[in-house]
Amino acid sequence: MSSGVLALLAFTPILLAGILLIGLRWPARRSMPIVFIVTALIGLTAWDMSFNRILASTLQGLGITVGLLWIIFGAILLLNTLKHSGGITAIRAGFANISPDRRVQAIIITWLFGCFIEGASGFGTPAAIAAPLLVAIGFPAMAAVMLGMMVQSTPVSFGAVGTPIIVGVTTGLDKATISERLEAVGTNWEAYLQLITSDVAIIHAIVGVFMPLFMVMMMTRFFGKNRSWREGLEVLPFALFAGLAFVVPYAITGVVLGPEFPSLLGGLIGLAIVTTAARKGFLLPKANWDFAPSSEWPSEWLGTIEMKLDELTKKPMSSFRAWLPYVLVGVVLVISRTVPVVKDAFTSVSAGRHSDHDRYCHLLPSSHAGEGTDRCGSRIQWRAAQRGLRSAVHRAYGADPDQFRRKYVGSAQHADRDGDLGGR
């Protein structure tokens, strides 16, 4: 097949999902099984995938789904706990004290708090945490979801303490080959990774300045009483201020410190700056904006999670106690990704995924068999195995170990995947 046909086949599942969900407005429970079947058939016929590989990919997808549902379960459990304990009343009153304007509330909660959660955790948690919080203070469920999805933009590249850059770039590129070329011109991989980080931070920061404004304009246009873009533009000065409050520390930390903390520190610093400025009325619009009464909302705006606002005044509590669970969530997320001991404890349970070093454990020389008995389970043991492999290759062949690995191990892996080796 030509590359154009293959590209079309690869895009077909996404196109079909868009047609069924958006064009025909089918529910996901009907649309996605059809998309899955079509995808599997394309894999079997066009891509020559084996049935076992499709089954394994399906099980992997189910595992990812369970992980996402677990995140959502925790967010909804926290939300309902706050609802019935009176915490939502205090949070709602706190935002009303900052500003009763829904546009300002959307910027502070979704953009700034959401960016902070993305930097700390990533993997969809901003939408899972910020969207229910918006529903709790009186936003339509569909508007909350839309805003939660739009925040998955500028902060995502440095989400989960830089995982997309640190892991994605390192494993997505041929690090050994690139490192050789970099060393030939007098630099190294670390400088190259920092250059990528700086470029990504600057480019995304430029767009991020305008993201709060885009979010608010979408909200007023599709969920406002007057369906107006202009009502969103009325908050232009404050929206740009909120965008800059996030992207300036975001870009500086990306250029100076590296990929771990741009979204995290940008969100935290921006949240402190903007909430303080909003309390003092800095750049706030003169007229407040709100949704129509909830009784006038179309049924499709509503979700299965509904907050009865008249019930939220029964058991008020202090703002500190109300926000404490969300603060603790953020603190735990940061600690679990920045403190090595805690991070290792959280990631010590494996679901059977294997990194690159696991693939070469069977090549460990016999002189290192003692180190290699459980060598795939430990980074320290892998380093010992790697040293032994490099030494053995150099002694036996007089060749550069990295070149040997790319030439022979890589070709063996391709043959194994194609079934030429008959499996292991």
- Sign of the Cα pseudo-torsion (377, 382, 388, 390, in order): positive
Confidence of residue 294 (pLDDT cuts 50, 70, 90): confident
Q: Which comes out higher in pLDDT, residue 398 or 140?
A: 140
Would the pLDDT of 170 be above 50? yes
> DSSP for 266-285?
HHHHHHHHHHHHHHTTTT--
> If pLDDT is split at 50, 70 and 90, which confidence band does 283 have?
very high
For residue 94, pLDDT over 90 is answered with: no
Of 154, 174, 180, 349, nearest to 254 by C-alpha is 154
pLDDT band with cut points at 50, 70 and 90 for residue 291: very high
| 247-263: pLDDT as tens digits | 999 999 899 888 888 88
Q: Could you give the maximum distance between any two Cα atoms of the chain, in Å?
A: 79
Binning pLDDT at 50, 70 and 90, where does residue 365 land? very low
CA 289, distance to chain mean position in Å, is: 31
pTM value? 0.63
How far apart (Å, rounded) are the C-alpha atoms in residues 416 and 402? 20
1-25 pLDDT, tens digit each? 788 888 899 899 999 999 998 888 8
Q: What is the mean pLDDT of residues 36-64?
A: 89
Contacts of 58 (CB under 8 A, 6+ apart): 36, 40
